[in-house]
Amino acid sequence: MPSFDPTLILVVMIFAGYLVFGKIMEARKERRAELLPKQPICGCTDHLAFHNPATGRCEAQRREVVHWIRNPELDEWLKDDTRLESDRPKQYVAAEWELRQCACQRYTGPEPLGTLFAPELSTDHVERPRPVDPPREALGYQ
Ligand SMILES: [Zn+2]
């Protein structure tokens, strides 16, 4: 019978436990995500509340860059002899923004359940006196 190093067995058991624990945590995370109410988010990434119910247009505003400038940090980085490629700054940076309305024409996300309206219960029908039958003579009986 082959003998195994106890350390190897321990390492294999820890690795197996790590895999099983990972699967359990992944399943819990998925279950929790299913329990949370799904948000009505449109394809334009804006909430249903931003969409006009009559026209369907999205009325959310976004900050969009309208002017880019060359990044001054890039020149500093290029002068540095000890520079690392991983620290390379972006070539351009935003200098000016403008608020623009979202161009979305129609909500495409999940539809929320309709709101139910239930009138307040009253006891009017119980307290109201019953209609009185007309006199028998009025109906033509003798
Ligand atoms: Zn939008």
Residue 36, pLDDT score: 83
Query: Under DSSP, is residue 114 helix (H, G, I), strand (E, B) or coil?
Result: coil
Ligand 1 centroid from CA 93, angstroms: 25
Ligand 1 centroid from CA 98, angstroms: 16
Ligand 1 centroid from CA 113, angstroms: 21
DSSP 61: E
Query: Under DSSP, is residue 56 helix (H, G, I), strand (E, B) or coil?
Result: coil
Ligand 1 centroid from CA 116, angstroms: 27
In a domain, 124, yes or no: no
In a domain, 9, yes or no: yes
Q: Which domain holds residue 18?
A: 1-36
pLDDT in 10s for each residue of the chain, 142 residues: 567 788 999 999 999 999 999 999 999 999 988 888 888 999 999 999 999 999 999 999 999 999 999 999 999 999 988 888 888 899 999 999 999 999 999 999 988 877 777 777 776 666 666 777 777 777 777 6
In a domain, 6, yes or no: yes
In a domain, 66, yes or no: no
DSSP 105: -
Asked if 46 contacts 61 with a C-beta cutoff of 8 angstroms, the reply is: no
The residues whose Cβ lies within 5 A of ligand 1, an ion, are: 44, 46, 58, 60, 102, 104
Cβ contacts of 108 within 8 Å, gap of 6 or more: 42, 43
Q: How many CB atoms sit inside 10 A of residue 85's CB?
A: 6
Q: 120: which 2 tokens?
A: 């307040």
Taking Cα atoms as reference points, which of 62, 40, 21, 54 lies closest to residue 113? 40
Ligand 1 centroid from CA 59, angstroms: 7
In a domain, 29, yes or no: yes
Query: Under DSSP, is residue 51 helix (H, G, I), strand (E, B) or coil?
Result: strand
In a domain, 127, yes or no: no
Ligand 1 centroid from CA 81, angstroms: 46
Ligand 1 centroid from CA 39, angstroms: 14
DSSP 92: E
How far apart (Å, rounded) are the C-alpha atoms in residues 98 and 61? 10
How many domains in the chain?
A: 1
Element spanning 58, H or E: none
In a domain, 23, yes or no: yes
DSSP 59: -
